[in-house]
Amino acid sequence: MTPARGFKSLPLRAGPPPGARPGGAGRSGPLAASTPARPYSALVANGERNRRDWEALGEIDPLYAILSAPAAKHGAWDEQAFLETGRADAESIMAACSALGLATRREASFELGCGVGRVTRALAGYFRRSVGLDISEAMIRRARAMNADRPNCEWIVGDAPDLRAFDDGVFDLVLSFIVLQHLPDRAVISSYLREMARVLAPGGALVVQMPASMPLRQRVQWRRRAWHGLRRLRVGERVLYERLGLDPIRMNWLPERDVQAALRLGGARVVAVQAGWLGDGSRTGRERNLTYIATR
């Protein structure tokens, strides 16, 4: 596909397994306990299946897949109401940054897992350049269509487990919200956290949400397992989603100490840890959700 203006595809790069340290040295400390090494082939296979899952969701019900309001499934989200949630979240993010004296330079923002641009679009009102990256080409196509009135937004498809397309310290705000929890492997989550810290500019703000724990009953994720089992039997994705009420959405978590360790390895320091989304206490039901704000 020919990239549109302001859009580029990230190439897959050969290299060490996601989460590996340069030189292949073994890890020690908190990350070693909860992110054990896995075969590289397994990480690649999991990453490809994750990409296919989000391509399917991006085609079938993209707005609900991004923000799962109970009454908004099967295309029931009102698009303007959906975008208004992004405006409100961007306002909360910038207020939190201002309270901490961070991201005072407003050159460029970056959102990992932007979906159709719910928050990236809103951040374009604060920054000269607002960049969104998503694993799903279907989501990015929708983002370009929905946000054609935001010329300072850039939309990127990327499924590599790093952000090597970007130089160090290029973004004044780096954001990821209800995204990393859907990645299939903790080593990949840790890799992204380090990369997000690396691309953060000095004095900038890194804002990331991540469950720190999850009850055993929630780890079963039977809808996802049933989805993949029936897909192996070649049952269609729309049948699984629309008729059987299944979806492939995975939930993962990373302990607080491991999140902080990964950010430190990327060169950032955590200055605030808040319950829920920016301390509002939301999304803290069955899993313990935390929002981290870091700088460098």
pLDDT tens track for 58-110: 999 999 999 988 889 999 999 999 999 999 999 999 999 999 999 999 999 99
Judged against a pLDDT cut of 70, whether residue 284 lies above it is answered with no
Judged against a pLDDT cut of 60, whether residue 264 lies above it is answered with yes
Question: Residue 178 is encoded by which pair of tokens?
Answer: 């209800």
What angle in degrees, to the nearest 10, is found between the helix axes of 137-146 and 40-60? 40
Q: Which CATH superfamily is domain 28-214+251-295 in?
A: Vaccinia Virus protein VP39 (3.40.50.150)
Domain range list for the chain: 28-214+251-295, 222-249
Q: How much of the chain exceeds pLDDT 90, in percent?
A: 71
Question: Residue 273 is encoded by which pair of tokens?
Answer: 């840890």
Judged against a pLDDT cut of 50, whether residue 23 lies above it is answered with no
pLDDT tens digits, residue range 111-166? 999 999 999 999 999 999 999 999 999 999 999 999 999 999 999 999 887 899 99
- Reported in sequence order, the residue ranges of 103-255 that DSSP labels E, i.e. its strands, are 108-112, 129-134, 153-157, 171-176, 200-213
**Among the listed residues 121, 174, 169, the one whose alpha carbon sits nearest the alpha carbon of residue 144:** 121
pLDDT, position 85:
94
Q: What is the DSSP letter of 125?
A: T
- Higher pLDDT: 187 or 19? It is 187
- Reported in sequence order, the residue ranges of the chain that DSSP labels E, i.e. its strands, are 7-9, 108-112, 129-134, 153-157, 171-176, 200-213, 269-275, 288-295
pLDDT, position 184:
87
Judged against a pLDDT cut of 70, whether residue 208 lies above it is answered with yes
Whole-model pTM: value is 0.83
- Higher pLDDT: 46 or 264? It is 264
